[in-house]
Structure 1
Amino acid sequence: MSARIIDGRARAAELRAQIATEVGTLKSEHGWVPGLAVVLVGSDPASEVYVRMKGKATAEAGMAGFEHRLPSTVTQAALLDLIARLNADPAVHGILVQLPLPPQIDEAAVIDAIAIAKDVDGFHVQNAGRLATGQAAMVPCTPLGCLMLLRAELGSLEGRDALVIGRSNIVGKPMAQLLIRDSATVTVAHSRSRDLPGLCRRAEIVIAAVGRPRLVQGDWLKPGAVVIDVGVNRTPEGLVGDVDFEAARQVASAITPVPGGVGPMTIACLLANTLTAACRSAGLPEPQGLTA
């Protein structure tokens, strides 16, 4: 068996094209332009790359982009003041503060300061609570992208045995909540779980988001499993995921590569969340297929 490669770049391109069409309709019929504000503190090289990619994708979708760059020495008070101004700006429908932040700034305080309606990262505690209780919420972009890839690959997830490896607030926990919403049977594991290989061998769906290069081995997988690899790990051989890709593809039925799998979907889902936020702000119907 050789697994089918789940092409995240192709699916993300389709999603971005749909978003651009919806944005064009908003402009022509309602004079409404969704706006995304991105705040970058300092000059972390990886963050610089992400911000450039997000800015390019925003422009290509026809959205308004507002980029704010602050020095690494900025005070927490100054950053919170900027967020307050963005919260009050009617041209801004989504606010993203690029993480990580310098040590003098409390990340939790910054996330909590973003208006929940503009929290397109889906990190605010109220959005997390809404997701956990089955209410309408802004969903974190990476788990939303994973869910879309799974739905495209498998159709209904109802009753399927899913394993999420990782328990972060950014991926693991919201991913589990999304799978539960789709009526999957969900196990959440992590680096301290006992018999992680045994847990993997029971799962029809494996989502690896623990941040350990090639942690998940091919012989851990149930034959025919669908594997979503969220990990992005820099090694001497280049970028690798949390799954041993070459070994896993001999056992799985479908698998995402690294790079080119989940990453492009994360940026596309950021645009989807911004469009959803803009429609909610204007009291307009939300586009179909862009939310959980």
Structure 2
Amino acid sequence: MNASSRVVVGVDGSATSFDAVRWATHEALRRHTSLEVITSSLFAPGTYGDAVGLRVGAFSDPDVEAKRVLTEATDVVRSALDGQQLQLETRLEHGSAARVLTNLEVKPAMIVLGSRGLGEFTGGLMGSVGSAVLAHATCPVAVIKPGGVVDGPIIVGVDCTSSSQPAIGFALKEASLRGVDLVAVHAWSDLELGSVLTRDDDGPWANSDFAERTSLAESLAGWSADYPDVVIRRVVVQDRPVRELLHASEMAQLVVVGSRGRGGFASLLLGSTARAVIHSVDAPVVVVPTER
């Protein structure tokens, strides 16, 4: 699949989807890229076959509501731009919103959704549509909520495996674009016991806290050279990841997690931690796909 730097936002006419449009507009401006606003209608355009059955209204425009949504979304973008310039494209598709967003011909840099909505795009985020987009998208997916501290840091969850690297890279880029600190959170109470017991009991690895701090430092090694302008703060706690991320998010403007961590089965495309964070955290959340 080809890739582009554009930001894509799904809109359904709900207030939260327009919140997503505003957030996506600011994100596109920060990245100096284009914005694409997409809505979907489940009604297929009428065909001559409909005339055979004499279906009333077969040739009326079934997309009136979808077009209204796109018009309103365009007004939201213009208001958010506040005089700044941005390349904007709008698109009306037919069929399942989940299919539309997960089968884009050219992969975007990010897909943005509201946390709740009226229609298929965001109605019941962790229902079929939200789950499908979050689990199957091959680019980061931002779930926008009304909370978050405007000038707060970026929080990234780190499990100290290679699965964390895409999320770390994304979070550092966001922190650099926004001019804020990055807080890397590693909670290790869910550490598999065997990985501790196989370490050298006579060496420094006998101290689990020291081991986890070392693992976090190794996970972040090299990134400072790529983003020298970002101050990285490390947090290592013996706690459940979701609880610590929820606590850290209280003063954050954005929380970043990987789609899957070290736990569970590889076939589960969206991990339990990512799901729980989306449900629990009030700030915007970005789920970054891990390699699979």
- TM-score tier by shorter-chain length is under 0.3
Of structures 1 and 2, the larger Rg is shown by: 2
Which structure carries more helix by proportion? 1
- TM-score normalized with structure 1 length: 0.28
- TM-score normalized with structure 2 length: 0.28
